[in-house]
A = this chain, B = another copy of it.
Amino acid sequence: MDSQSGQAQAAPPNSDALNFDILPELLGYQLRRAQLRMFNDFAGAMADVSITPGQFGVLVLIEANPGSSQSALARAIGIERSTMVAVIDTLEGRGLVERRASKVDRRSNALVLSEAGAAMMEKLRPIVAGHEDRIAGNLSSAERRQLIDLLTRLPDGPQTK
């Protein structure tokens, strides 16, 4: 620590009038902030059922693709297989997802929703729809589509693992 640093230390800036410097112009900063607000709203909407956005996505994929392997789902969503295994562990522990022996590939499990999982999905869909409408409440339907289009065009960069 260098206590002789030349930083000014006058009165602290008013927190409502902080200088954000380059942050507001950074796509990364605005994306993180939007994601944080989205996540908070989702968490609030899901408080009674304790389902995270990631868990919801996995439940949707398993319902729409019964018999998929963990590896296939991980590739589809673009996360590490180990992360997917942890998500499935949680969902299986809650009785929402079942791992069955695959009939076509002995090395992998086939994932399906349990009856409780299917019932949970019926409960979750309208909650998620309400969450989406709240989040997009300030946007016209054209702007909402445009935002989704622009987001999907952000590339996997060469630095991506």
> Interface on A for B, CB 8 Å cutoff?
1-3, 5-13, 15, 18-38, 40-45, 53-54, 57, 60-61, 63-69, 71-73, 75-79, 92, 95, 98, 100, 102-105, 108, 110, 112-116, 118, 125, 128, 131-132, 134-139, 143-144, 146-148, 150-161
Contact = CB atoms under 8 A, between A and B. Distances in A.
Given A40-B161, A144-B27, A159-B43, A153 B134 contact: no
Copies of this chain in the oligomer: 2
A36 B154 contact: no
Contacts of A138: 153-155
Contacts of A10: 67
Contacts of A160: 37, 40-41, 44
9 contacts: A9-B103, A13-B68, A15-B72, A27-B132, A32-B57, A37-B160, A134-B159, A137-B157, A147-B151
